Structure 1
Amino acid sequence: MRLSTVILPVHRWHEGGRDRWTRAERLGFHAAYTYDHLAWRTFRDGPWFGAVPTLTAAATATERLRLGTLVTSPNFRHPVTLAKDLITLDDVSGGRITLGIGAGGNGYDATTLRRQDEAPWTPRERADHFDEFLPLLDKLLREPSVTHEGRFYAATEARNIPGCAQSPRLPFAVAATGPRGLKLAARYGQAWVTTGDPKLYEAGTPAQSVAALRGQISRLEEAGEAVGRDVMELDKILLTGFTPDRPLSSFDAFVDFAGTHFGLGFTEIVLHWPVPGSDFAADEQVFERIATEGPAQLG
């Protein structure tokens, strides 16, 4: 069982930012991730720092903790420049980077770089971009020189020497629930990420959420069969905070929640580091007790 955290990039590095990453390592988390967005929901009008510089700083401040994004998307990234950043991050961290990556959504990332009269991508267009983005990124991280001319992306002798510190490349944790994304996860992922069924967050029940997650895992298995891969070898990551459950409400609530979801087949649960006054507000003492005592309760 793995227990990880996600630290939102909302604190200046020298005013609490650094301390959260180093404390995550001391608390024994398997990994600490951060969001890769230009802005996000209720945090839009407050501090919000870049994912790649934040992870670079975290890499120099920690020694053992795995680090990564949950998640990066094509909404404002290009495979060539992202590959260069990732190779550098993997080198600075000594091979501790996991790339969480998905097709992206329709929030601020989808509109900030576009003209006001330009509509954001539709779900189909996001899936189309992701279909090309992920295979190209995979190739860029594995090969020293890549030339590609596709529908959305081009690369001409893009050099990525010496490549990732991890071999054959750093791991991908692919966020997906639709059929095309699940096939990409099955083909290219070392892990699969979900937040559950968003339609159930406000009006659903925990039992309905469990059923929805069970269905997602079943569809992932079908996607694996379609591409000829046994997805039992993929880690299955649940990013909490978007289901009807409240696992940070108490230590016992977490143990019940984690036991149920590990029983479904999840191998890693990710908890948001508490952010007071937000949707991710929680008792920090409960959070730290979960970090230090929770894994032992689940074996």
Structure 2
Amino acid sequence: MSLRLSTVILPYRRWSEGGRSAWMRAEQLGFHTGYTYDHLSWRSFRDGPWFGAVPTLTAAAAATDRLRLGTLVTSPNFRHPVTLAKELISLDDISGGRITLGIGAGGTGFDATALSKSSQEPWTPRERADRFAEFVPLLDRLLTEDAVTYEGRFYSAHEARNIPGCVQRPRLPFAVAATGPRGLRLAARHGQAWVTTGDPKLYENGTPEQSVEALRGQLEKLSETCASIGRDVTELEKVLLTGFTPDRGRPLESLDAFVDFAGRHQELGFTEIVIHWPIPDSDFAADEKVFERIAMEAPAQLA
């Protein structure tokens, strides 16, 4: 199976000052999907420009014709399933059925508490997992049923209507980011794809070889989880979001370096590799000419 190559375009530029042109260029370069982060702001970009994911993807849908579009990832930190479902159905309609929802349990970054009282602590990993376990199945129902009534521990819906539903049937695909047991069960049950960034414990002091073995272990756990519910793991796309393994930006230093990196992960079973659009003076800095060469030539070498 050939390896899909996708990109993440962070929403830090005004649409008229490079935002629009990046999405159009992503389509011209042949990327499979253009993703963006769904945050209120993010890490080192906290004190600079940052735009909303759904409006950005809506504009990108109007500026492109073939490029798939998606979040990587949306989380319950500041989303509610009812309102998110309405936005997703609208976005899927505007794009002509080109939307993928990357979804995860969320983290503890500063924007995770943006809707909280100043004295409130971020949710613990268990609390995030609890909400995620309720969020995903409810969102699944909202995107596939005309009307939903639900009363849960964290979320509720009263005759929430989502007519006419998604262009993609039975709904737009979910790419579920998960490494723990509960998240993997959600990916196995509700996902059309599974997303990982690798093992965060290896980011600072691990080696590329250790990272590959950690990813191998994650893939094995995904396979076991799918088997436990009677699902064939080959039905799921396996997506690696790069930039968070010990390799960091080295795979983007040259075409050969990327093909070597991507090939090793393709052998593990990954079907899609996602690379960040270069951003000068950031963790995602890269030579744009090399980046474009990778986009145009690497997929053929990995076919």
TM range (shorter): over 0.9
Alignment of 1:1-299 (within 5 A): 1-245=3-247, 246-299=250-303
After superposition, give the CA deviation of every residue in 1:17-51 in whole Å (9 maximum; x if it has no partner).
00000000000000100000011110100110000
Q: Which amino acid aligns with 1:167?
A: R
SS of the residue 1:46 aligns to:
coil
1:99/1:171 contact within 8 Å kept? yes
Mark the runs of 5 or more structure 2 residues left unpaired by the alignment. none
How many angstroms does 1:233 deviate by?
1.0
Separation in structure 1 between the aligned mates of residue 151 and residue 113 of structure 2, nearest angstrom: 25
The alignment covers a number of residue pairs equal to 299
How many angstroms does 1:120 deviate by?
1.1
Structure 1 ranges of 4+ moved more than 2 A: none
1:69/1:98 contact within 8 Å kept? yes
After superposition, give the CA deviation of every residue in 1:255-279 in whole Å (9 maximum; x if it has no partner).
1001000000000000000000000
After superposition, give the CA deviation of every residue in 1:165-185 in whole Å (9 maximum; x if it has no partner).
000000000000000000000
1:38/1:108 contact within 8 Å kept? no
Separation in structure 2 between the aligned mates of residue 196 and residue 126 of structure 1, nearest angstrom: 19
Separation in structure 2 between the aligned mates of residue 43 and residue 205 of structure 1, nearest angstrom: 27
1:39/1:48 contact within 8 Å kept? yes
Separation in structure 1 between the aligned mates of residue 150 and residue 100 of structure 2, nearest angstrom: 24
Separation in structure 1 between the aligned mates of residue 58 and residue 110 of structure 2, nearest angstrom: 24
Mark the runs of 5 or more structure 1 residues left unpaired by the alignment. none
SS of the residue 2:251 aligns to:
coil
After superposition, give the CA deviation of every residue in 1:210-251 in whole Å (9 maximum; x if it has no partner).
000000000101111222211111000000000011210111
How many angstroms does 1:98 deviate by?
0.1
SS of the residue 2:160 aligns to:
strand
Separation in structure 2 between the aligned mates of residue 184 and residue 228 of structure 1, nearest angstrom: 14
Separation in structure 1 between the aligned mates of residue 201 and residue 287 of structure 2, nearest angstrom: 26
Separation in structure 2 between the aligned mates of residue 18 and residue 116 of structure 1, nearest angstrom: 36
SS of the residue 1:247 aligns to:
helix
- The root-mean-square deviation of aligned C-alpha atoms, in Å, is 0.6
